[in-house]
Amino acid sequence: MDLASKSITVFSPEGLDQFALSIENAELGLHLGIFTRLKIGSIFLQPELIFNSNKVNYKWDNISRTNDLPQFLSESYNYLDMPIKLGIKKGIFAFHTGPVGHYFINSSSELWQISEYGQKFDNFNWSWELGIGIEFLFVKFDIRYDRNLNNFGDHIILYGKQYDFGNAASKWVASAYLSI
């Protein structure tokens, strides 16, 4: 998803002011967890528990007042991710897919500086991931594409109305594993 091209246009209830909330960029976060693997031949089931954090930087602009400078505000999120990967291992390569449950832990947001801002996070949501990995003895590397089933930013409330950026959140995740 091209986050930088997305914005939300908001009107004050009186219709006097028009605002734009846009995404400047998303930053890499921490991705740390544990896993186990159950194997039957070359097929495996791999449940994981992963602490995942990320950060998004926003631009809040009063576009009806051209003299006002935009505000640049950030928001950080923490989740406990629970992927359940079903895969197949062929030689040093592993291919996997499966659902991922995302349990919302907390957020820290500078968007609260906007007096009209509110938020309502879902405690739990789902995504689907697809990935490929390379495995050498006790070391594993993988890259996965994760597509959320909810729209990005659907927790944002402005003037009492819930907004989102219109696309499902998706991300590429690179991981390194150490088996013990």
Mean pLDDT of 166-178: 85
The DSSP string of 58-71 is: EEEEETT-TTSPPE
Q: Which of 115, 94, 105, 101 is nearest to 160 (CA)?
A: 115
pLDDT, residue 5, reads 55
CA 64/CA 16 separation, integer angstroms: 8
Buried b (16+ CB within 10 A) or exposed e, 110-128: bbeebebbeeeeeeebebb
Phi, psi angle pair for 110, to nearest 5°: -80, -10
| pLDDT band per the 50, 70, 90 thresholds, residue 35 | very high
- Pick from 1-10, 53-62, 127-136: least confident: 1-10
Q: Where are the domains of the chain?
A: 3-172
pLDDT, residue 68, reads 78
Q: pLDDT (tens digit, 9 = 90+) per residue, 108-156?
A: 999 888 878 888 888 899 999 999 999 998 899 999 999 988 877 788 8
CA 89/CA 99 separation, integer angstroms: 19
Q: Which of 135, 132, 54 is nearest to 92 (CA)?
A: 135
